[in-house]
Amino acid sequence: MRRALSALTALVSLAAVAACSPATPSTAPGPAPSTLKDAFAGRFLVGAALNESQFTEQDSRGVPIVKAQFNTVTPENILKWENVHPRHGEYAFDAPDRYVAFGERNGMFIVGHTLVWHQQTPRWVFFDASGSRVSRDTLLARLRDHIQTVVGRYKGRIKGWDVVNEAVDEDGSLRKSLWLEIIGPDYIEKAFQWANEADPQAELYYNDYSVENAPKRNGIVALVKNLQAKGIRVTAVGLQGHNRLDWPTLAQQDSTIGAFVALGVKVAITELDIDVLPRATRAQTADVSLSAAPSAGLNPYAAGLPDSVQQALAKRYADLFGVYMKHRDAITRVTFWGVTDGDSWLNGWPVRGRTSYPLLFDRAGKPKPAFDAVIRATERPAFVP
């Protein structure tokens, strides 16, 4: 009995040592972890953007995947201004409340997306009843009320906010949005200040797409430096990660993450997907206002994805995760923009009605070869430039 007990004690202490040691990626291919959140435990969180049928638990295919695979969630649409604050003085918190409750029930790190954006913001925010632009002071007051109300309601529950989304143009200058034109460039610092006041513990992010292109990245580096110089709290830069098979290069991805690490901020990959369909526009962009006419040539895989492309997608995901693994100390989370291929915004943008394959789970909810490639990323050497 005593021998059995001491063997048990030895086993328990071995397990405790193993649990405390930093995870060392094994080089011998053993059984792969079965979930994304387990595969990257101790490195970064892994998440997905949820639509309403997911956080209300109606999507019987998507929900089990979300619960099993992810430990952080982002709302794809319901916290955008037009949804949460559609009319002056009128907030719509039913859906966001259900989203936050879903995240809490499942013990997830809950993200808020997004407080300030040039898209999906109703006209009443910027214009008065006669159609004239409101004054700087009026718009500042509206912005402050919005941030205090929305962030305040979920204080301590939504753990990180995309405070400002897509405020920088492709050339690195500030986007000529109504926010900039009516308030001036300080709308960005005001938004961060008010978000900080409303929840001093929440992580605060600047979030954008195509940051890997040097002019835009340089503009965002300058913006973050400027905020830091003014003592404004910015926790992380969100790299949306709306990628293609051939963009960005791994070197671009690596140096972009490195540029923000050098500023002392964290990095989150916030909206990851990889578009395998032909380019419909020349620009490398995720600008939701773009649209292009449908044509058969732009929708080549309507009947299914050829194996060669499936494998190329898996390799591309593996390569990108190699870069994320290199920067695992700086990366807080990697969030996919959708759960299954059928959920992706890329089925409708910039061409309506395409059949897109950008994620790790297929339309039936089955893991794709890309899933296996990602889950094994910790076993491979990280990216070396």
User: Residue written as tokens 């910027």?
Assistant: 126
For the chain, helix, strand, coil in percent to 5 are 40, 15, 45
Q: Pick from 53, 56, 77, 218 the residue near ligand G3I by CB under 6 A.
A: 77
Residue 286 lies near ligand G3I (rule: CB under 6 A): yes
The count of other CB atoms within 10 Å of the CB of residue 204 is 24
Q: What is the DSSP letter of 342?
A: G
Q: Which string of x and - marks every residue 150-179 that binds ligand G3I (by CB under 6 A)?
A: ---------------x--------------
Q: Is the dihedral of CA 102, 107, 108, 111 positive or negative?
A: positive
SS3 label, residue 161: strand
**How big is the chain by its Cα radius of gyration, in Å?**
22
| CA pair distance 284, 282, nearest whole angstrom | 7
Stretch that binds ligand G3I, among 31-39, 73-81, 152-160, 215-223 (CB under 6 A): 73-81
Residue 280 lies near ligand G3I (rule: CB under 6 A): no
Residue 226 lies near ligand G3I (rule: CB under 6 A): no
Closest approach, Cβ 103 to ligand G3I, in A, equals 18
| CA pair distance 358, 102, nearest whole angstrom | 25
Residue 288 lies near ligand G3I (rule: CB under 6 A): yes
| CA pair distance 336, 316, nearest whole angstrom | 15
Toward ligand G3I, which CB reaches closer, 347 or 378?
Answer: 347
The interaxial angle of helices 250-261 and 214-229, nearest 10 deg, is 10
- Which residues face 48 on adjacent strands? 73, 336
Stretch that binds ligand G3I, among 21-29, 75-83, 91-99, 153-161 (CB under 6 A): 75-83
Toward ligand G3I, which CB reaches closer, 116 or 140?
Answer: 116
Residue 275 lies near ligand G3I (rule: CB under 6 A): no
Q: How many residues make contact with ligand G3I (CB under 6 A)? A: 12
What residues from 4 to 63 belong to the interface with ligand G3I (CB under 6 A)? none
Q: By beta-carbon distance, which residue lies closest to ligand G3I?
A: 345
What residues from 308 to 367 belong to the interface with ligand G3I (CB under 6 A)? 345
Q: Pick from 6, 13, 34, 120 the residue near ligand G3I by CB under 6 A.
A: 120
Which residues are catalytically annotated? 166, 271
Closest approach, Cβ 80 to ligand G3I, in A, equals 6
Q: Pick from 199, 212, 254, 271 the residue near ligand G3I by CB under 6 A.
A: 271
Stretch that binds ligand G3I, among 72-80, 180-188, 195-203, 376-384 (CB under 6 A): 72-80
Query: Which residues, 6 or more positions from 171, have their beta carbon under 8 angstroms from its beta carbon?
Result: 215, 216, 219
| CA pair distance 68, 294, nearest whole angstrom | 36
CA neighbor of 191 nearest in space, from 201, 204, 200, 178: 204
Using CB under 6 A as the criterion, which residues of the chain lie in contact with ligand G3I when the complex forms?
76-77, 80, 119-120, 165, 209, 240, 271, 286, 288, 345
